[in-house]
Amino acid sequence: MAEKKDRNRYRRSGDAVSYKKSFLIDMDGVINRGRALIPGADAFLEKLKKGRFPYLFLTNNSYYTPAQLRERMARIGIEVTEDHFYTSAMATANFLDYQKPGCSAYVIGGKGLIAELVKSGVVLTDTSPDYVIIGETEEYDYKKIVEATYLIEEGARFIATNPDITGPTKRGVVPACGALVAPIEKVTGVSPYFLGKPNPAMMYWARKKLNVHSANCFMIGDRMDTDILGGLEAGMTCCLVLSGVTNLKMLQRFPYRPDYVFDSIADIDPRTILSRRERVDR
């Protein structure tokens, strides 16, 4: 009873974190499969809008800017603003701003990562940087790998936007950030610190962007090893959808479980679904 009173006190405070039901939503495999909209995803998002539920699309891909992601979603019929996206590039920028404001970095990454780092005040340099940062990129060559190796051996700290080994394309899978760090890691013996899912730090900063509490925040994803694990470790209520990577047979292999399992996001009603905290209170 005392805990409920305390939560109500925070709800009344305009400056405090909100306990309003909110949603962090993975994209590929949940909202879309490549360039195709998953049936019912648009109806789910309309319910979020009508109910005024705070939500963000969460993606480990650091290559695209929010503007580019908005355009990609618009092509499949989803109209949202740039403010509805949170990427591993943003998580990386938030991390650096928290750890070492005004730091310097040698970056191998795409426009999305570079834009977020510059916006947060990171100085891009190849001269004695504080960090070497790796993200998805189309400009990855031997010369850059060698330079990153030298800089890490000279004392630069090694971080990367996400641990994903592969990413989907229309033709098939391609190397993602987790694969790009491999040669540098093997040569230096230094493993990068990954900021993207399943790192709960990414979930924390995404919730901070929405100004919501984990007690009534839901993570919806199709991957047990990133979406669900990250949501679980961040104290959120986790919804696994079977429209992407994970199927029921694969689910049985994991030592942890989601709170809910749905065939697709179309089966989730944001108005009636209960958070883990609400289920316990009842």
Question: Of residues 15, 26, 97, 269, which has the active-site annotation?
Answer: 26
The total number of residues shown for the chain amounts to 282
Closest CA to 217 of 163, 259, 162: 259
Q: Which long-range contacts (CB under 8 A, 24 or more apart) does 115-122 make?
A: 115/65, 115/89, 116/87, 116/89, 116/90, 116/92, 117/89, 117/92, 117/93, 119/93, 120/93, 120/94, 120/96, 121/97, 122/93, 122/96
* Distance separating the N- and C-terminal Cα atoms of the chain: 12
Rg (CA), the chain: 19
Is residue 281 annotated as a catalytic residue, yes or no? no
Q: β-strand 173-175 against 193-194: which pairing, if any? A: unpaired
Residue of 28, 130, 164, 222 marked catalytic:
28
Is residue 130 among the annotated active site residues? no
| Other beta carbons within 10 Å of 51 | 13
The Cα 129–Cα 117 span in angstroms is 14
CB of 218 closer than 8 Å to CB of 275: yes
Residue 246, Ramachandran bin (φ over 0: left; ψ between -120 and 50: alpha; else beta):
beta
Q: Any idea what DSSP says for residue 120?
A: T
Whether the ω angle into residue 183 lies within 30 degrees of 0, i.e. cis, is no
Euclidean distance between CA atoms 95 and 235, whole angstroms: 19
- Active-site positions read 26, 28
